[in-house]
Amino acid sequence: MIAGLGVALPPSTVQDELWDGYFARHYAAGGRRGLAQRIFANSGVRTRQAAVSPLLEDVSDWSTERRMRRYQVEAVPLGKEAVGRALTDAGVAADEVGLFAVCSCTGYATPGLDILLARDMGMSPALQRLFVGHMGCYAALPGLGAAADFVAARGRPALLLCTELTSLHLQPPDNRVDIQQIVSHALFSDAAAAVVLSPGAVGGYVVMDVTALTDTTTAGHMTWDVTDMGFRMGLSAQVPDVLSMHVRALVEDLLGRNGLTVGEVDGWAVHPGGPRILDVVQERIGLTDDDLAASRGVLAAYGNCSSPTVLLVLEELRRRGTPPRHVVMLAFGPGLTLYGVLLSRL
């Protein structure tokens, strides 16, 4: 059962200020400025966070090595803050945690966040650790499934942390009209979110089921390539079309095998990969504007933070006066892969 959730965010900046103060200049060459400005304006993002803000520090010409060193500097305190809040929310001590799972696709080093945070926060030397890398925006959901399975099998608390610093992967300017890079620069943001799952917790959500679907015929539609200048996003405009083909069947299968229908779900935590993705999910499943208000609100306030984002939406749902009884979490990423999780209050 989900017993606690904690969020940590770097400093926030208004989207228009990012455009005026940096990206208008970044896209000045090659006739790209007008197109880029329209993409930024239509991104659905009003504010977003950056551990390394381009308004203060331009990393676009940094080597991958330099970016990875900075990742450790920024990610450790951010992850520590999110974990501390989640443990406090759950009423669980750090040394009680049996499994610590960390998801991140924006930075790698050894010893990694799992080792450093376990050491700094006083977790047990017998702690089991799991690192999930390069799954991208949907990583929180298989991470949540692994943590829930551990709790069910071992009867001990588990902790999941998702930390992403997409700001470190700002790409250098060139003269090409690369719409995929413009879109990624307009959407992505930094955040950390942590979840504690504990046996016998009262009042939280039970992870009822986890489902996945991967369409490998569209594997090239979403990529995250390691280059000498950081990690480079590939994001095809056809991604929403692929989701449109699969998302309804995925949701109906998840709900059907648990004796539920779409109409009985009163909470939807859909990863806000962008406005078009939310539009497609809403249309194909038949959701209302209110059903996706939390997802659109997170996109506007925080941007697309990759793996933590769907947990930010879950936290938004938890803040409501009457928390929903059944929540479907959906997230999408490389593969193309769709992941779904059903949460219920019993």
pTM (2 d.p.): 0.96
**pLDDT, tens digit only, all 346 positions of the chain:** 999 999 999 999 999 999 999 999 999 876 789 999 999 999 999 999 999 999 999 999 999 999 999 999 999 999 999 999 999 999 999 999 999 999 999 999 999 999 999 999 999 999 999 999 999 999 999 999 999 999 999 999 999 999 999 999 999 987 776 889 999 999 999 999 999 999 987 788 999 999 999 999 999 999 999 999 999 999 999 999 999 999 999 999 999 999 999 999 999 999 999 999 999 999 999 999 999 999 999 999 999 999 999 999 999 999 887 889 999 999 999 999 999 999 999 8
Token pair 């455009």: residue: 19
Fold matches, 2-197 and 206-344: yes
Burial of 174: CB neighbours in 10 Å, binned 0-12, 13-18, 19+: exposed
Spell out the domain ranges in the chain.
Answer: 2-197, 206-344
pLDDT cut 70: percent of the chain above it: 99
Enclosing H/E stretch for 5: strand 2-8
Q: How far is CA 87 from CA 67, 100, 197, in A?
A: 29, 12, 10
pLDDT digits (tens, 9 = 90+) for 204-233: 899 999 999 999 999 999 999 999 999 999
Catalytic residues: 137
- CB of 135 closer than 8 Å to CB of 333: yes
- Report d(CA 8, CA 294) in Å as an integer: 18
The per-residue pLDDT for 58 is 96
The per-residue pLDDT for 98 is 98
The set of residues, in sequence order, having a beta carbon less than 8 Å from that of 105 and lying 6+ positions away, is 133, 134, 135, 136, 139, 164, 224, 231, 306, 307
SS3 338: strand
User: For domain 206-344, is the CATH number 3.30.428.10?
Assistant: no
The per-residue pLDDT for 174 is 78
**CATH code of domain 2-197:** 3.40.47.10
pLDDT digits (tens, 9 = 90+) for 313-339: 999 999 887 889 999 999 999 999 999
- Report d(CA 6, CA 193) in Å as an integer: 6
Query: Residue type for 62, please?
Result: W
- Report d(CA 8, CA 138) in Å as an integer: 19
pLDDT digits (tens, 9 = 90+) for 147-169: 999 999 999 999 999 999 999 99
